[in-house]
Structure 1
Amino acid sequence: MIAIVEIVIGLMLVVGALFALAASIGLLRLKDVYMRMHAASKAGTLGSGVMLLALAVHAGDLSIVTRALAGVVFFLLTAPISAHLLAKAAYAAGYRPCADTKVDALAETVRPKS
C-alpha cells in the first residue's frame, strides 16, 4: 500500500510540474499580455495546486495537510480575480489585444481619450 501512495505522489508531482512548465512556456511564447496572463493564471494555478495536494498526501500530518489545502483554496480563489483585475488595468492603460484576438469585448465600454 505504501508503494502505491508513493507512486501517486510522484505522478501528482510530475503532472504539477508539467502544468507549471506549460505556464512558463506560455509566458515566453504567447503574443500579448492577455494570453500570457491566461497561461500564467490557469496552468500555473493548476500546477501549484496539484503539487500542494501531493504535499498533503505525502505529509500525513494534519497541520501540514490543512496548510496545503488552504494554499490550494487560496490559489483557486485569488488567481482568477487577480488575472481579471490585471487584464482590466492593462486594457485601461492602453494595451490592446493582438491581431489574433477576433473579438474585443471591451472596445465598446472604454471611452477614447481626448
Structure 2
Amino acid sequence: MRKLDKDDLGLVEKLYDNSLRTKDIFSVLNSVSSKYIHKPDVYNAVSRQRQHKLQGLNEIELLFKTLHDNENIVGNIALKPAFNDERDQDGAFIQSIFWAYRDLIDEFLVGKDVNHIQDE
C-alpha cells in the first residue's frame, strides 16, 4: 500500500473536474500506475476535492450562496415549513427553485415571438 503522490493527486483533480465518478477515477489510476493504488486513498482524495469545490458548504448551501451572490442570476427559492409535531417547527423543505441568467432574459426579450416570425 502507498499513499497517493503529487502526480496521482493531480490526476484525481483533473478527472474529478471532468465529472468522472470516484470508482472510474480509481480504475484510471490503477490502469496508469505500476504500483498498487489503495481504494480508500482515492475516495479520500475525491472527498477532499469535493469539499474544496464546495467551499466547505453542502450542495444546497452552495446553490443558495451562488444564487444570492451572482448579480447575473435572477432566482427564487420557495421553502415549505417542516414540523416535528403540531407546535414545533423543525426546519424547512425546498418546495421549488427557479433561476435564470439576466443576460439570457435580455436576449430573449430582444428576440421576436416565434408565432410572429411565422406570420411574416
When normalised by structure 1's length, the TM-score is: 0.29
Task: Between the two structures, name the one with larger relative contact order (CA 8 Å, sep ≥ 6).
Answer: 1
Question: Rg bigger for which structure?
Answer: 2
Larger proportion of strand:
2
Larger proportion of helix:
1
